[in-house]
């Protein structure tokens, strides 16, 4: 032991990291051992900053026949402190040669480097016989080889089948967050920005793409060509990208001279045109909105046949799932069109938020993802107002609240060190909550101030990295003494913590305010009590799975306080009142007495509201008597809050159901879908528990109560996007619940479609409802599976798959799961969706759960711990469990895979959600049974 301690000290002095890193390292323990048995000279997950990259020269030669690649990288580095070891990342790469070149004046030396590998940290150490000194000009040259990855990370293989049945292979990259190291040895952390010169060797039947435009092609002979790409701007490793494929493209030049191109497999080229129109329009919007020209000469958008997530924002070469980029007018619905538009808007927003300005570390990934998610709404609303995207922001915030009201949630800005923890940061909190608090800030400060603040942020930190506080300081119009510039909203550093905007009669400390939203988890519950013209306010932490009467409730409230920008309207005034609540309790004086008050106007704030006294009764009465006195967003917000408060034990279920009865007068689609969504969710849970009397009565109530809405739906594609989305949802549910007119119409359409040999064009909004009825017969199911295999439309394949998983035949459901595991007929990328969809089917619920338990190791191998797919599988298969027996079974399974489950936050979420379901049923089942008996006609 004494020897190892001394050795650790010696190695620390050799590397000479900065003091903070050195201290952390010593506390972490003894030096690790490399694969060859020698001491590895670094024992932290994060790299030292003694050597930093300036420019990568990368040559890659993939072989699409043998499915491997050979490559070399020459990295120009800057030495910040004397060292003889260079630590960088490498994973699953066979390094065959490593040398260091040093330029001193006119002379140049080339010396071999010893390569030490430490796989647990995915790091290598290049050890030099000489010290590397600050100020010297050094180049690290590494030759290496690897197999193309089988999964969805690194440099991986993808395949597609052409119309004539030929299987073709391509190779594509996906590096975010920590997989560039699977394609080339690199400093794979976002702060290590550098320039890249990429050269790709390929066969003559293929093309190569990278972040920058191609500047020349060199013919090497034997059918091999070498494409040289222009030098990139400074960027992080996770944004590097290259593809070798045989795709076709369509292009257009923007008004500022940017060449935008959409690439897809040749047989799907005709589905690229809408994406091109949208990409050009959105890119031009962002250049104006951010007041910063897009800094690259081109933007390629590529539909990859095998892709785990929705899309990836590689700078200048964004990659997409086919369903996120391609649009087929014959099979893509209005919702599909909206999805494609929003995903393109998301990835193009990243070209500024994330690419131009990058978070310093993954703990602040929300600076990338929350902004991109929010800018989807801002950009699409401005460029395609007919898509009515603003209504969908409500659903985004409702989803965030659902996650954030659990004790297993996390702060927006959270510690994340290893790759699994980092992958888990790409979740509802980073994306949806991030978007919703940005919307709250924008509504609070006004659009002009918000926009000018983020432009300032982007300009100040261009080609650099930023932290959480940098955003708030920029939006607050502050600057330090060092970068002081005169201006209306700029102050010296002594004033930098204060915002220039007057709000509620005092200066606002925006950073302090927003720290309460980003550095602590959860969401506030605002408790409102109105007496005459006086409104009393209290805030506490909103928790769904822990009731006020539970012993742990008080301890889970301690230390939580938000600075909440409240808005409200009253019966006396439609002018929006404003109040900043910075304390646990406060009062507001209204302009005279009011019969009702409604907080969170248009749901522009991120908080839940509970009305004490007669507050809820007055709002229920208002909705029943004159619901248009409130906006449709306010009505949706009240429905959402009421049912959320039932879960928290703050409101009785019959009160929330009474509120929803006003929907018989509702004409706006968003509140209708909100109310219907809760009733359907209750039905699904009770149906799975086989509580037959309540399930039957609830089904009858839905079909009776929403009969007028169901019957007025046309089996067509007419109307607004909102109307068409309502049609898809309502007819899909009505047919699933066995509503005879719906089933009859869908069955007739399916029969006509089959008899036409699928040449009949079905209305895109009802295709899945029609297919789902058809899939209930053995012949229909088999026909759909056959069509699934030959369809050239990703949108159509999704609808067919949804229909196939609705079968009531367990043998067929099991076959779908097995086909997804095999990855041929149903691609591996769709396996998590198949599992999720089967689990939603009451016949397939336990089938899906048993399948996950049986194949857990294979699923983790395919998708990696922490990935979206693994989270989707865990949440999907447990979300509607609601018995204590099921809770124990889930806990036992997580315990059996403890080594993996202990690394995942999502397992805590699953258990807490299950506990919430159990409590909900125990408290509300009898109330629901009685209420239905009283309200059924």
Tell me which residues are annotated as active site: 347
Which residues are paired to 581 by β-bridges?
564
Q: What is the largest CA-CA distance in the chain?
A: 95
- What is the SS3 assignment for 146? strand
Q: Residue 125 corresponds to which tokens in the numbers above?
A: 């150490």
Q: Are the C-beta atoms of residues 773 and 736 closer than 8 Å to each other? A: no
Q: Residue 163 corresponds to which tokens in the numbers above?
A: 């119309």
| 149 secondary structure, DSSP code | B
**What does the radius of gyration of the chain's CA atoms come to, in whole angstroms?**
29
346 labeled binding residue: yes
- H helix intervals, 272-321: 273-290
Q: H/E/C letters for each residue in 521-551?
A: CCCEEEEEEEECCEEEEEEEECCCCCCCCCC
Sign of CA dihedral 625, 630, 632, 637: negative
> Residue 818, Cβ neighbours under 10 Å: how many?
14
d(CA 383, CA 557): 43
Give yes or no for a cis peptide into 177 (omega within 30° of 0).
yes
The DSSP secondary structure of 416-460, one letter per residue, reads --SHHHHHHTSSHIIIIIHHHHHHHHHHHH-HHHHHHHHHHHHHH
Helix pair 334-350, 273-290: axis angle to 10 deg = 40
Residue 934 half-sphere exposure toward CB, CA atoms < 13 A: 10
User: How many residues appear in the chain?
Assistant: 937
d(CA 283, CA 258): 9
Residue 655 has φ and ψ, to the nearest 5°, of: -65, -45
d(CA 909, CA 879): 10
d(CA 62, CA 245): 11
Residue 766 has φ and ψ, to the nearest 5°, of: -115, 5
d(CA 605, CA 568): 10
Q: How far is CA 825 from the centre of its chain?
A: 27
Residue written as tokens 């309460």? 516
Q: Residue 431 corresponds to which tokens in the numbers above?
A: 């994306």
- Cα–Cα–Cα angle for 438, 670, 400, nearest 5°? 35
Residue written as tokens 């469990």? 881
d(CA 416, CA 409): 14
Residue 535 half-sphere exposure toward CB, CA atoms < 13 A: 28
d(CA 618, CA 376): 36
d(CA 886, CA 914): 8
706-710: Cβ within 8 A, 24+ apart = 706/663, 706/672, 706/676, 706/730, 708/664, 709/672, 710/734, 710/739, 710/742
Q: Are the C-beta atoms of residues 913 and 886 closer than 8 Å to each other? A: no
Nearest to 355 by CA among 273, 492, 200, 232: 232
Residue 831 half-sphere exposure toward CB, CA atoms < 13 A: 30
d(CA 181, CA 795): 33
818 labeled binding residue: no
Q: Are the C-beta atoms of residues 476 and 510 closer than 8 Å to each other? A: yes
Q: Are the C-beta atoms of residues 894 and 852 closer than 8 Å to each other? A: no
| 647 secondary structure, DSSP code | H
Annotated binding site for Zn(2+): 346, 350, 369
């Amino acid at each position: 032991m004494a020897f190892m301690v001394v050795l650790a000290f010696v190695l620390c002095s050799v590397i000479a990291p900065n003091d903070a890193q050195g201290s952390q390292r010593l506390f972490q323990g003894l030096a690790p051992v490399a694969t060859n048995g020698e001491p590895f000279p670094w024992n932290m997950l994060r790299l030292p900053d003694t050597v930093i990259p300036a420019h990568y020269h990368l040559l890659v030669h993939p072989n699409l026949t043998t499915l491997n690649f050979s490559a070399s990288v020459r990295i120009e580095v800057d030495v910040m402190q004397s060292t003889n070891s260079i630590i960088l990342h490498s994973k699953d790469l066979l390094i065959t040669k490593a040398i260091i070149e040093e330029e001193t004046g006119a002379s140049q030396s080339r010396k071999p480097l010893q390569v030490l590998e430490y796989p647990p940290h995915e790091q290598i150490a290049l050890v030099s016989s000489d010290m590397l000194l600050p100020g010297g000009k050094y180049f690290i040259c590494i030759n290496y080889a690897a197999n193309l990855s089988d999964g969805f990370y690194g440099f991986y293989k993808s395949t597609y089948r052409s119309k004539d049945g030929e299987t073709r292979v391509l190779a594509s990259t996906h590096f975010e967050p920590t997989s560039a190291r699977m394609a080339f040895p690199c400093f794979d952390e976002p702060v290590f920005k550098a320039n890249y010169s990429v050269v790709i060797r390929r066969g003559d039947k293929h093309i190569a793409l990278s972040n920058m435009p191609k500047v020349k092609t060199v013919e090497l002979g034997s059918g091999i060509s070498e494409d040289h790409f222009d030098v990139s701007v400074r960027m992080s490793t996770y944004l590097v990208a290259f593809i070798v494929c045989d795709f076709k493209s369509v292009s257009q030049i923007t008004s500022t001279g940017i060449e935008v191109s959409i690439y897809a497999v040749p047989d799907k080229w005709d589905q690229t045109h809408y994406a091109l129109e949208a990409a050009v329009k959105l890119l031009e919007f962002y250049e104006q909105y951010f007041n910063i020209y897009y800094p690259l000469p081109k933007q390629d958008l590529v539909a990859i046949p095998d892709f785990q997530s929705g899309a990836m924002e590689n700078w200048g070469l964004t990659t997409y799932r086919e369903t996120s980029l391609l649009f087929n007018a014959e099979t893509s619905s209005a919702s599909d069109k909206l999805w494609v538009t929003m995903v393109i808007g998301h990835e193009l927003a990243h070209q500024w938020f994330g690419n131009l300005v990058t978070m310093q570390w993954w703990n602040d990934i929300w600076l990338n993802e929350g902004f991109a998610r929010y800018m989807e709404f801002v950009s699409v609303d401005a460029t395609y107002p007919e898509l009515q995207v603003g209504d969908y922001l409500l659903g985004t915030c409702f989803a965030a609240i659902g996650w954030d009201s659990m004790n297993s949630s996390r702060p927006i800005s959270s510690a994340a060190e290893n790759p699994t923890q980092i992958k888990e940061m790409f979740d509802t909190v980073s994306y949806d909550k991030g978007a919703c608090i940005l919307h709250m800030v924008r509504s609070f400060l006004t659009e002009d101030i918000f926009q000018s603040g983020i432009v300032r942020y982007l300009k100040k930190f261009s080609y650099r990295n930023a932290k959480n506080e940098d955003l708030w300081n920029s939006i607050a119009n502050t600057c330090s003494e060092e970068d002081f510039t005169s201006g209306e909203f700029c102050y010296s550093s002594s004033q930098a913590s204060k915002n220039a905007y007057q709000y509620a009669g005092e200066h606002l400390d925006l950073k302090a305010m927003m720290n309460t939203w980003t550095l602590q988890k959860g969401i506030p519950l605002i408790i409102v009590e109105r007496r005459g013209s006086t409104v009393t306010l209290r805030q506490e932490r909103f928790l769904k799975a822990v009731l006020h009467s539970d012993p742990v409730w008080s301890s889970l409230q301690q230390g939580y306080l938000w600075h909440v920008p409240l808005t409200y309207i009253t019966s006396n005034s439609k002018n929006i009142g404003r109040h900043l609540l910075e304390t646990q309790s406060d009062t507001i004086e209204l302009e005279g007495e009011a019969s009702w008050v409604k907080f969170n106007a248009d749901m522009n704030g991120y908080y839940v509201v509970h009305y004490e006294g007669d507050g809820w009764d007055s709002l229920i009465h208002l909705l029943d008597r004159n619901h248009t006195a409130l906006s449709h967003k306010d009505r949706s917000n009240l429905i959402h809050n009421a049912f959320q408060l039932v879960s928290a034990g703050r409101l009785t279920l019959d009160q929330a159901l009474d509120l929803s009865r006003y929907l018989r007068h509702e004409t706006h689609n968003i509140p209708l879908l909100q109310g219907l969504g809760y009733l359907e969710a209750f039905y699904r849970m009770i149906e799975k528990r086989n509580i037959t009397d309540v399930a039957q009565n609830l089904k009858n109530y839905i079909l009776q109560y929403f009969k007028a809405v169901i019957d007025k739906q046309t089996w067509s594609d007419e109307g607004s996007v909102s109307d068409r989305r309502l049609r898809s949802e309502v007819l899909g549910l009505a047919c699933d619940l066995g509503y005879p007119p719906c089933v009859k119409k869908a069955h007739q359409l399916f029969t006509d479609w089959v008899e036409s040999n699928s040449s009949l064009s079905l209305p895109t909004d009802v295709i899945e409802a029609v297919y789902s009825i058809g899939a209930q017969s053995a012949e229909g199911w088999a026909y759909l599976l056959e069509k699934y295999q030959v369809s050239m439309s990703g949108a159509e394949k999704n609808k067919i798959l949804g229909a196939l998983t609705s079968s009531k035949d367990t043998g067929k459901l099991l076959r779908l799961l097995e086909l997804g595991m095999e990855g041929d007929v149903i691609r591996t990328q769709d396996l998590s969706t198949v599992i999720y969809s089967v689990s939603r089917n009451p016949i397939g619920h336990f089938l899906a759960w048993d399948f996950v338990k049986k194949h857990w190791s294979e699923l983790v191998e395919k998708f990696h711990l922490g990935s979206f797919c693994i989270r989707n599988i865990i949440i999907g298969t447990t979300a509607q469990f609601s018995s204590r027996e099921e809770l124990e079974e889930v806990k036992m399974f997580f315990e059996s895979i403890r080594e993996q489950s202990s690394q995942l936050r999502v397992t805590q979420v699953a258990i807490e959600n299950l506990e919430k379901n159990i409590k909900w049923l125990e408290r509300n089942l009898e109330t629901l049974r009685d209420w239905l008996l009283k309200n059924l006609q």
